[in-house]
Structure 1
Amino acid sequence: MSKIDLAIKGVPSRQPSTAAGQRNARLWLCMLLLVADMAALATGFAFGLRAAGLQWLADGQWQPLAGGMIVYAVLAFHNQAYNPHCLMHMTQSCRSATMAFAGTLLIFLLVVFSLKATGQLSRLGISAGILCSGTLLVLQRLMIVRMVRRNFADGLFAQLLIIDDGAIPDDVGGMVIVDAAAIGLKADLDDPYMLHRLGTLLRDYDRAVISCPAERKADWAQMLKGGNILGEIIVPELDPMAPLAVQSYRGTPTLVVSRGPLNLANRAKKRLLDIALTVPVLILLAPLMAVVAILIKLDSPGPVFFKQERIGRGNMLFHILKFRSMKVEQCDSAGATSTQRDDDRITRVGAFIRKTSIDELPQLINVLLGEMSLVGPRPHALGSTAEEQLFWQVDRQYWHRHALKPGITGLAQIRGFRGATETRRDILNRVEADLEYLHGWSLMRDIAILLGTLNVLVHKNAY
């Protein structure tokens, strides 16, 4: 049994049917929002055209309507109008839909004027259609939110309450309660396997609330920040814990200490970029990777790939793939010893593939598997140290990096922060760059980092 298997032994998991049922309910309700929006737009403009005395779906009328509905769907998705939270909050739902509707009208007007087609359209029909569509859009969203609140209440999102020698709130309806001591779970920032244990527990939940003594709150906060989940800690008083917000759970004050940095739309865009680039690059580089594999086998006995445990998104452990560049008997699976210049553990082929970053190419497979992204914080070996301190002991914010998928490259790498970590400043530079990337993510920034990586594939610190 591996260390990862031991880390999750005894950890309770949600009933698959319950978790799947909640996910499916949210998916179908979000699809209902989409269908209801399209129906509101079509019905509204049908009324508008009839008010203007025009035939519904006459020649030349349905094409702009269909185009407008597609544009609205794209803008609404971008504005989080189909985020599951819109199912419970009237203001958020109506605001997102209204902003998307306004953007659609702006684009429609720009296209009409640019094509000089204003004379071909009925102003009365368009005006009445806009008014009816906007009104129906807001009304149907208010009705759906009221229906969801009445029928689902607290059952739409999976909620977990972890008790670590803390008080149990009076009202815990709809929550799964876990006794941390009973399953051997504790706030231990120096144990990556404990973090993996927590990540395994949290993966089926949308919200986690911690009840614990005051002296453990800061450690629980640090663990949740990298958990890729809405995490909260029950506190009777405000403590200097860098909270994101103050909320309440059934009348008990809580501090929100973590949220996933990317919403659903941004995660989808990032994943699409990963797939769109990784698949053709893997096909293109397949001959090169085959040649490298043959050279590694001819150069020294042992496997072609080197696998090592790293910490991924949500503090979940995974095995990173690299081309083996060291002699098998001297491979450092824990990463306790940083690679040095002229390191005698490195093979002849290994020296070349490390210098040119070719040894990192198998990580494209990790990207395809969803364990990594092309761009993100670089995952480090569990035993990596700086001045004889583990990375997370140098700076506790180190764990915050794991709110995103680890990347093959990142902001730290294009700034030259790579190679051996001989001093505390070496790892602090990496952490600062990773947190800057995490808090300022955008798709264009990912593309810029990928382009910047081309300039540092061969680097003086790559050895």
Structure 2
Amino acid sequence: MNDIDPAKRFSPEAAQELQASPAGERPSVLNEMARQVASQLGNDTVTPVMVSGTLRILEFAVLMLSGLVVYWFLVGPFDLADWQYYVVIAAGSAIAVAFLEFSDCYQVAALMRPFATFSRILLVWAGTFALMALTAFMLKVGADFSRLMFGVWFVTGFASSFTLRLIVARLIRRWARNGRMERRAVIVGGGKAAENLIRAIEQQPYNDIRICGIFDDRDDKRSPPIVAGYPKLGTISELIEFARIARIDLLIVSLPITAEQRVLQLLKKLWVLPVDIRLSAQSSSLQFRPRAYSYIGSVPLLDIFDKPINGWDSVAKRAFDIVFSMIGILLFSPIMIATAIAIKLDSKGPLLFRQKRHGFNNEVIEVYKFRSMYADQSDPSARKTVTRNDPRVTRVGRFIRKTSIDELPQFFNALLGSLSLVGPRPHAVAAQSHNLLYAEVVDGYFARHKVKPGVTGWAQINGWRGEMDTDEKIRMRTEFDLYYIENWSLLFDLKILLLTPIRLLNTENAY
């Protein structure tokens, strides 16, 4: 979430109402038109953030490689005595990328028009060499370097960088044509306000927004079925299901901020979705701090909620999962082999137990565990929670459940990508408490699914593991999960991962 809490933009009473909202209600069934539109939008897209971030890495690599090739041809092969050349080439490449960032050369509009930014890129590259020359003059080391080598690098480096940008521009245009690179947006609220907002967005040059439709609770008299050429696809409750199927990136609420109660009613339903939620500020006379706004071109939007662990954060978390999952598999492989042998000797049936659980964005995933129950008494739907001295659990099963060894195969889930190592623990699809689904017990329960579920989590290391036999336990687990989502960082993940084996020594609630 942004540095400005969205709740603070409303009255204290309204903020409290938002926090206590019934956001876990079940979505309505989509109408046929909305379902058809959603199914056509189901494929993943390439985000501008990922494109520009990848280009930064590639451009650094291209500039550095061109410098190294020139050095090897004109100065000589690798020599430990010439280590300073490698330092200068790496530093020059990094400085050039930083200057290009400051001059907005990684914005999508600039990437789509490389010839329009030709002079700016050339100026940045020249400025990089001017800075290196000034540094060499101040340190009195200019005579130690080959002027010919740096002169040739200036030409080849710029040519390589610009060629890379020509390739990227062509790719971006192709992705824009086939819908591969876009931010999918839905307008929440119809009428004249929505029409003005849509027209303003469409007038912005080189924007990556694709408006997928309009959702509004009002009838056709107050909210026309077609606004600015876009159909009204359903109600706000139907939007929740639509956004999950169509993989919507952005929800724009086109209501005046002065309509506080109505805006809050919408946010009560929508905040469980893993999407960016913005409030149109185009016609608002109220002014907030500049950092409260984001823009589509020149169209101002108030930031309400941000999709958690997005863009390069998701790349970093995925790399974290792959590295530590492989370490975990190697480290615990003797225990897993011994457990497999013990299960086979103890009772008949398969080694692994596969269970359907809720994953990211409410998608159903299959989670692996060592089988801890008798094969003919297993409960894949988890309708009946395992209790103390449960007769369905085998002798080996009691031990591996108490020590959480039964969860070790989930390292493979994390490696393959259906789970993360750290995150809210995934619950079985039909998990119940007193004949009520968890979502019916806890308001905002589905907000846990705004991120990928984990093998371990903040709730588990704080004691909320094992049997969920009371509504309070479910609420507390959800509260800790939501805290994790709002405060995520790689260091937080590492802390949870390192504390997990220590906290698992407390087996009070595990059976």
Distance 2:141 2:52 in 1: 38
1:67 aligns with 2:87: yes
Among candidates 369, 374, 377, match of residue 424 of structure 2: 377
Task: Give the match for residue 321 of structure 2.
Answer: 274
RMSD: 5.5
Q: Secondary structure at the match of 1:303?
A: coil
Given that 2:279 and 2:303 are in contact with CA atoms closer than 8 Å, whether structure 1 keeps it comes out as: yes
Is the alpha carbon distance of 1:35 and 1:421 closer, same or farther for their aligned partners in structure 2, counting shifts above 3 Å?
Answer: closer
Q: Is 1:13 aligned with 2:40?
A: yes
Aligned mates of 2:100, 2:385 — CA distance in 1: 44
SS in 2 for 1:295: helix
Show the counterpart of 1:217. Answer: 266
Give the gaps of 5 or more residues in structure 1.
1-5, 45-55, 239-243
Residue identity (%): 28
Provide the secondary structure at the position in 2 that maps to 1:359. helix
Cα shift at 1:80: 12
Using the alignment, how far apart are the partners of 2:187 and 2:391 within structure 1? 50
**Quick one: distance in 1 between partners of 2:105 and 2:304?**
19
Partner residue in 2 for 1:230 = 276
Among 166, 172, 177, the alignment partner of 2:212 is 177
Amino acid paired to 1:409: T
Shift of 1:366: 0.7
* Partner residue in 1 for 2:510: 462
Listed as ranges, the matches of 1:35-434 within 5 Å are 63-64=83-84, 66-67=86-87, 70=90, 86-88=106-108, 155=176, 157-162=181-186, 166-167=190-191, 169=195, 170-171=198-199, 173=202, 175-178=210-213, 198-202=243-247, 206-209=249-252, 217-224=266-273, 227=274, 229-232=275-278, 256-386=303-433, 389-434=436-481
Partners of 1:352 and 1:64 in 2: CA distance: 59
Between 1:371-380 and 1:428-437, the stretch displaced more is 428-437
Amino acid in structure 1 at the alignment position of 2:244: G
1:342 partner SS: coil
* Pair 1:444–1:289, CA change in 2 (3 A): same
- How many aligned residue pairs are there? 404
Secondary structure at 2:39 match in 1 = coil
**Counterpart-to-counterpart distance in 2, 1:15 and 1:200:** 6
Which position in structure 1 is the counterpart of 2:206?
Answer: none
1:442 and 1:80 mapped to 2: Cα distance? 27
420-429 or 285-294: bigger deviation: 285-294
- Report the CA distance between 1:379 and its aligned residue: 1.3
Change (3 A) 1:26 1:258: closer
- C-alpha deviation, 1:70, in angstroms: 4.2
Q: Which amino acid aligns with 2:107?
A: L
Secondary structure of 1:430's counterpart equals helix
Q: Which residue of 1 aligns with 2:117?
A: none
Provide the residue aligned with 1:453 in structure 2.
500
Distance of 1:377 and 1:218 partners within structure 2: 22
Please say if residues 157 and 207 of structure 1, whose CA atoms lie closer than 8 Å, have aligned partners that are also in contact: no
Q: CA deviation at 1:311?
A: 2.0
Q: Is the 8 A contact 1:159 1:208 kept in 2?
A: no
Greater mean deviation of Cα atoms: 319-328 or 255-264: 255-264
CA deviations on 1:310-369 (whole Å, 9 max, x unpaired) are 222233221111112123343333323322211222122211110111110111111011
SS of residue in 2 equivalent to 1:396: coil
Distance 1:372 1:75 in 2: 38
Give me the TM-score of the superposition, normalised by structure 1: 0.65
Aligned residue type for 2:326: V
Q: Tell which has more relative contact order, 1 or 2 (C-alpha 8 A, sep 6+).
A: 2
Q: Secondary structure at the match of 1:367?
A: helix
Q: Which moved more, 1:179-188 or 1:384-393?
A: 179-188
Could you list the per-position Cα deviations for residues 239-281 of structure 1 after superposition, in whole angstroms to 9, with x for gaps in the alignment?
A: xxxxx95557689875544323224433333222222222243
Out of 213-222 and 436-445, give the one that drifted further.
213-222
Gaps of 5+ in 2: 1-28, 68-73, 111-119, 203-208, 217-230, 256-261, 286-290
